[in-house]
Amino acid sequence: MTMKDSYGRKIQYLRLSVTDLCNYRCIYCMPESGVIKKRHGDMLSIEEMTGIVRAAHRLGVNKVRLTGGEPLVRRGIVSLCRNIKAIDNAIELGITTNGSLLAPMAGILKEARVDRLNISLDSLNPDTFSKITRGGDVRDVADGIKAAQNAGFDNIKINCVLLNGINDKELFEMISLTREHPVHVRFIELMPLGVAKEWDSSRFMTTASAEKYLQNAELLRIDGVARVYGFPGYKGTIGLICPMSHSFCPSCNKIRVTADGKLKPCLHSDQEIDLKGLSGEKLEQAIRDGIMQKPESHRFGLAGSATGRNMNEIGG
């Protein structure tokens, strides 16, 4: 079965935040002081997350992305991956990670049948990377990417959030990664959500800043929310994702669940449906309700998203 929302959109994609904790403190995502650790019992257990995926799958979800916070700091993450693939191996299972803890885990995630990895990397420059992540070492991420390639992940996406005045001089260098490496570099517009809501508008830039380097590239396809380009002879591709300059709402096929079990029908709304403690028909009905409550579109601009949460709680 496939479930449609009240605007006729097929909902097939679940983004599940497995923790709001993270070993980084990216300047646009988390407060410098980090987050107050919630009570263990208030967070979804691995069994509850598995139950939510099972119920969502019964309603037509066939693509699941585990995110966070940093999903690789969540104890039990590998078991969760195995559980999801045991529900149905055809579920496309992805993880979005900062990559810093990936090197020792890539092989085991491959064995657990994770299909895809998206790795966030906003700068190749060690100082800029450390500034953005508040202390991260870019070499850890590079090691993570290499380990993932060696483990057999062949469709790695590198997510780069556009930060004017911070990484704007590096876009050509990021694009050049695709010459020798079979990776898909995606430039993503910064959204005014959580801590980034307080940011000065001069920090925001559109994907047009990357497009200017793509004049000799070929537009290969429109892939969901991304426009995908490639240079002849290059091993990788480049994607532009523009939630600010173009609305994705008409083609939105997602629901999100936070690590404390709240289903968010829309990333930018403060509307939430509590799934914690539900099972069986009640859980399925709550997910159905959430899908039917998806708004037609969000209406935020630089004024900011209506959600009161930071991105580390929602998962992107």
Closest Cα to residue 163, out of 109, 206, 115, 110? 206
Taking CB under 6 A as the rule, which mask of x and - marks residues 18-37 in contact with ligand SAM? ----x-----xx--------
How would DSSP label each residue in 172-201? Answer: HHHHHHHHHS--EEEEEE----GGGGGS-G
CB of 138 to ligand SAM, least distance (A): 13
Which one among 3, 5, 12, 24 touches ligand SF4, defined by CB under 6 A? Answer: 24
Closest Cα to residue 237, out of 188, 179, 189? 179
Taking CB under 6 A as the rule, which mask of x and - marks residues 107-146 in contact with ligand SAM? -------------x--------------------------
62 vs 88: CA distance, rounded Å: 9
Told to check if 98 binds ligand SF4 by CB under 6 A, we report yes
Closest Cα to residue 112, out of 66, 146, 155? 66
Closest Cα to residue 16, out of 62, 68, 60? 68
3 vs 185, beta carbon nearer ligand SAM: 185
50 vs 67, beta carbon nearer ligand SAM: 67
The stretch near ligand SAM (CB under 6 A) out of 31-39, 81-89, 140-148, 184-192 is: 184-192
24 vs 213, beta carbon nearer ligand SF4: 24
Which residues, in sequence order, are CB contacts of 19 under 8 Å at separation 6+?
43, 68, 69, 70, 71, 73, 74, 259
36 vs 90, beta carbon nearer ligand SAM: 36
Told to check if 30 binds ligand SF4 by CB under 6 A, we report yes
Owner of token pair 């991420």: 141
Told to check if 145 binds ligand SF4 by CB under 6 A, we report no
Told to check if 239 binds ligand SAM by CB under 6 A, we report no
* Nearest-10 Cα torsion for 97, 225, 177, 235: 110
Q: Angle at the Cα of 237 (from 101 to 72), degrees rounded to 5?
A: 15
Beta-strand relationship, 226-230 and 157-162:
unpaired
Which one among 3, 22, 95, 102 touches ligand SF4, defined by CB under 6 A? Answer: 22
30 contact choice in ligand SF4, ligand SAM, none (CB below 5 to 8 Å, kind-dependent): ligand SF4
Told to check if 14 binds ligand SF4 by CB under 6 A, we report no
How would DSSP label each residue in 278-296? Answer: --HHHHHHHHHHHHHT--S
5 vs 189, beta carbon nearer ligand SAM: 189
Closest Cα to residue 287, out of 47, 54, 46? 54
Contacts within 8 Å (CB) and 24+ apart, 37-40: 38/260
**Residues in 195-214 that interact with ligand SAM by CB under 6 A:** 196
Which one among 68, 194, 230, 261 touches ligand SF4, defined by CB under 6 A? Answer: 68
25 contact choice in ligand SF4, ligand SAM, none (CB below 5 to 8 Å, kind-dependent): ligand SF4
Residues that bind ligand SAM (CB under 6 A): 22, 28-29, 67-68, 70, 96-98, 120, 159, 161, 188, 190-191, 193, 196, 311-312, 315-316
Residues that bind ligand SF4 (CB under 6 A): 22, 24-26, 29-30, 68-70, 98, 120, 311-312
